[in-house]
Structure formats: C-alpha cells, structure tokens
Amino acid sequence: MNELEQRLAAYDQSRKITLSKGKLCVTLVTSRKARMDGLPLRSSEMLTDAKGQVAGLGKAAVQSILKEYGEMRVLAEEGGRTSRGSIGCMESYVAFLNELHAAGLADMDCIEEWWVGRVRKYFEGKPFKLKVDHSKSIKAIINDLLGQAQKRQQKVHGATCVGAMYQHLVGAALDLVLGDGVLKHHGFSVADAFTQRAGDFIIDDVAIHVTTSPTEALIRKCVSNIEDGLRAIIITSKVGTAAAEVLCANAQLQGRVDVFEIEQFIASNIYEMSGFSRVFHKSKIRELVAAYNEIVETCETDPSLRIELAS
C-alpha cells in the first residue's frame, strides 16, 4: 500500500469505521463534501443549522454516492442520520482529512473510492445468522450458531472466528447478568493466554477463561489464579470440557476449577434472565445478540463477526 492507503487503513482500524454502517455513511458524505468544496474543511460547516445532526447525511445522499460507483445495495435505511456519535465521527474524520491535506496526501478522488471499497467489504462481510426456533432447545440454538463459525473457520485459512465468538458471547452474557460497564472487554487477539491478565474476565475473586481448546498453559494460569486467591472457571467446547477435566486432574486440580460447556453456560443464563418463561426467551436472546454486536464493534475490526437474528 502507498502512504495514503496506509493512513486510511490505520484510521479505519483505530476508529472502527468498517464495523459500523452509520460511521461509513458519515465518512462517505464528509468525503464528498471535502471533494466538492476542497480542504481544509471546518467541522462546523458539516452541521445542520440546529447543530444537532450532520448536514446532508441521509439515505438519499449516501446511495447517490454509491450509485456513481455501480453499488446499488442499501448501506443504511436512515443513511447514518440516527446513528449515535455521528457528529463526533464527522469531527474526527474532518480533522484526519485536514491532516492528510497538510501532509500533501489528500487526493479526495482516491480517498472517496477507497471508502466505497470499505463499504463493499462491509457488504461482503456477511454476519452469522441466529434463528430462534421454538421447536429447538436454547442450547441447540446456540450450538447452531457456533457451528456456523466452525464451518467458516474451516473454509478460511487463518480465521479465528470461533474463538472470537466464544469470548464475546460469554462477555455479552455476563454483561446482561452484571450490567453494562462492569466488565472490561478485549479483542480476541489479546486474549488472556497471551498477556499478563489473570483471565479473559475478572469478576471479584473469579477469573474466567474462555477457550475453544484448553491447554497446559491455560491450566498453569488456573494454578496461578488459585495461588493468588482467585477462583478459576474455564468455559469451553463440549470436547474441550473433557480435555480440561483431564488436564486439571493431571495438575492435581480436581474439584478446584469449574469447567462449563459454552452452550450450557449461555443457555442457563438465558433461562435465568427470562425467569424460565418461554415468552421471554426470544427477547433475551435478542438482548444477547445486541450486547455481542456492541462488543464486536468496540473490540474487533472484522464486521463478519456480527450476528443477525434471522426472520
């Protein structure tokens, strides 16, 4: 990549633009404004008279830009107008464009085309589909979702979507139980196995480790947890639970580490939060998906990790 593309990619990653259709809409409209009026640009010029919205932001404006590049798919029905933080996103992007201009790199034709490419990446990063079938158990519904991730990972060399889904589904379930802001979430690439953190999630005196495949290194971390006065929990796959129990036995940790199968862990949370009422199962699953997607948008750069509820 040339320097302009490198800076655009770094900005995209740092601001999570490609993960949000609202942010993509703001970026496209702002790019078009800079392309038409020139740089430097003042963020105040991008506000409506009431200062409450980004001027010109809407479905028609966004789709008009995309149509020029032969892209007819609808990015957002509201064109990003109702997205939270659209003004902040615009102000940040205007500052970034002005920096490019000062560096002599602001080729707005290339920049706009680059963002259209990001829009196409967003469209191509198809989310996983979760269907709430009342003829199936909640555990089976979650298992179907995890199966999709497993199939995708087998097809795409180097993909780690299974591990990422495990971690963020557990994180979402914990958020629903504990409330927003209690847990600190991290991207899957900085999982606790590769850092000095005591676990993927720390709650009071409990260290929770989420993994698709337990290892001896993870068991050593559980030993360290116990030595530090923490309780250790491992949440893993069905096969992983058996492996974890064997590894714990080999390390003389029988009865000292709780091991849960991920589908059972999430299903039990759904049952508890819904008061065991079937009427509320779907709404709680919807809340789980919303919390999961929020974590993905905050911590990851791959939009295909998102989950959509199938109609």
264: exposed, middle or buried (Cβ count in 10 Å: 0-12, 13-18, 19+): middle
Tell me if the pTM is above 0.75.
Answer: no
Res. 78: pLDDT tops 60: yes
Averaged pLDDT, 14-31: 92
Q: Return the pLDDT at 129.
A: 93
Neighbouring-strand partners of residue 235: 210, 260
One DSSP character per residue, 65-133 reads HHHHTT--S-S-TTTTTT-TTHHHHHHHHHHHHHHHHHTT---HHHHHHHHHHHHHHHHHSPPEEE---
Q: Which residue in 10, 6, 21 sits closest to 89, CA to CA?
A: 21
Neighbouring-strand partners of residue 210: 235
CA distance 280 to 288: 12
**Positions of E strands within 153-241:** 201-203, 206-210, 231-236
Averaged pLDDT, 119-143: 90
The average confidence (pLDDT) of the chain is 91
CA distance 234 to 286: 25
Phi, psi of 200, deg, nearest 5: -65, -35
So what's the architecture of 128-309 in CATH?
Answer: 3-Layer(aba) Sandwich (3.40)
Q: What is the pLDDT of residues 133-191, one digit of tens each?
A: 889 999 999 999 999 999 988 876 667 899 999 999 999 999 999 998 899 999 887 65
Q: What is the pLDDT of residues 106-116, one digit of tens each?
A: 999 999 999 99
DSSP 167: H
117: exposed, middle or buried (Cβ count in 10 Å: 0-12, 13-18, 19+): middle
In this prediction, what percent of the chain has a pLDDT beyond 90?
73
CB 62 within 8 Å of CB 77: no
Domain ranges of the chain: 3-124, 128-309
Q: Return the pLDDT at 193.
A: 46
